[in-house]
Structure 1
């Protein structure tokens, strides 16, 4: 609950003229209750007369919920670069049958790294597209919007945390019995892990080292 400084006038004497020094301070805050604090009139006025004791109301921020910032992990090109390097090595040894699918996967992940973003807002994880954070549309595999509230997460893990390859999580928003999701980690693995711990709770086994 917030309240304005409506109760100030009953404590501050009308004879005090030079209280602007604390007035600006008081106006910058909201409060859920009023606190009566004694002050010395000589501190608020340059008059040389006898200091008088009075009371002012100090506004305080108490119990206010701090809004969580939106976090977007940085893109990480290591996986597509490794795959493309493997494809090149396979071409070098004339193993084209293996080089083609590995190379195509590397190209796909390279493109996706430039465009796909994980956006962690105050209440949910959402997949968005591009630097302008455009809507990604419905999920191609399970349907529904690519946005899942943290409160619906059952568990999650980073696979191979020393060089994170996949992020896995299970949520109950898509269907009551739970829906599993796998995403290649084309983002900064440490940033992804830290924000997942903060917003979704601790992971049991996958802390990156």
Structure 2
């Protein structure tokens, strides 16, 4: 009987130890799991913050690039040259010099018409000749062929004659042909705007800019 009691007592003690050991293991597992969950959550929050920071950095960079985008410049039309030519033609006709008045008058009328429709468009990388208020394509160049659009990087030289009363703008580019192609255009645009934009986009000229 004593042996049975001792055995039962030993079994109960052993069972209690096992139960306590099992509870201890459960508690350890719980705290370990809780620590891992909290650590994962903390790492996740840090990763989320880094991700948000990266998105903000990328957005900021794209925003700065958008702000730094070069705007398109279109110099205003200037009617001074056609008006002067038409006035000269009128003066020649008044003095009965019709032979000289006719070509001067025709040139004045042509430039007057061109002033109302032709535009120099300076975008971020090139100068392009367009026509009309809707800035339509001007087609191929009637003299040398190719599109009337030339990249600033191909400009070899350019000049504006004459600075105080601009009449002609000249530039030479290597886009049309490697040895260089020369272009002349009457200044039927605001001379100062034209000069300042050419300096900004194509580099400085040897001539001084038109005065205010």
TM-score, structure 1 as length reference: 0.73
| C-alpha contact 1:124 1:150 (8 A) present in aligned 2 | yes
| C-alpha contact 1:193 1:207 (8 A) present in aligned 2 | yes
How far does residue 206 in structure 1 lie from its aligned partner after superposition?
Answer: 3.5
Secondary structure of 1:128's match?
strand
Tell me which stretches of 4 or more aligned residues in structure 1 moved more than 3 Å: 59-65
Partner of 1:191: 193
User: Which of 156, 163, 166 in structure 2 is aligned with 1:164?
Assistant: 166
TM-score, structure 2 as length reference: 0.72
Listed as ranges, the matches of 1:46-195 within 5 Å are: 60-61=60-61, 64-65=64-65, 66-195=68-197
Task: Work out whether 1:10 is the aligned partner of 2:42.
Answer: no
Q: Rg bigger for which structure?
A: 2
How many residues align structurally?
A: 165
Tell me how far apart the structure 2 counterparts of residues 108 and 82 of structure 1 sit (CA, whole Å): 13
Partner of 1:55: none
Question: For the aligned residues, what is the CA RMSD?
Answer: 2.5
Tell me how far apart the structure 1 counterparts of residues 117 and 163 of structure 2 sit (CA, whole Å): 23
How far does residue 61 in structure 1 lie from its aligned partner after superposition?
Answer: 3.8
More strand by share: 1
| C-alpha contact 1:156 1:168 (8 A) present in aligned 2 | yes
Runs (5+) with no aligned partner, structure 2 = 1-42
Q: Once the two structures are superposed, what CA deviation does each residue of 1:171-197 show, in whole Å capped at 9, x if it has no partner?
A: 000000000000000000000001101
| C-alpha contact 1:167 1:183 (8 A) present in aligned 2 | yes
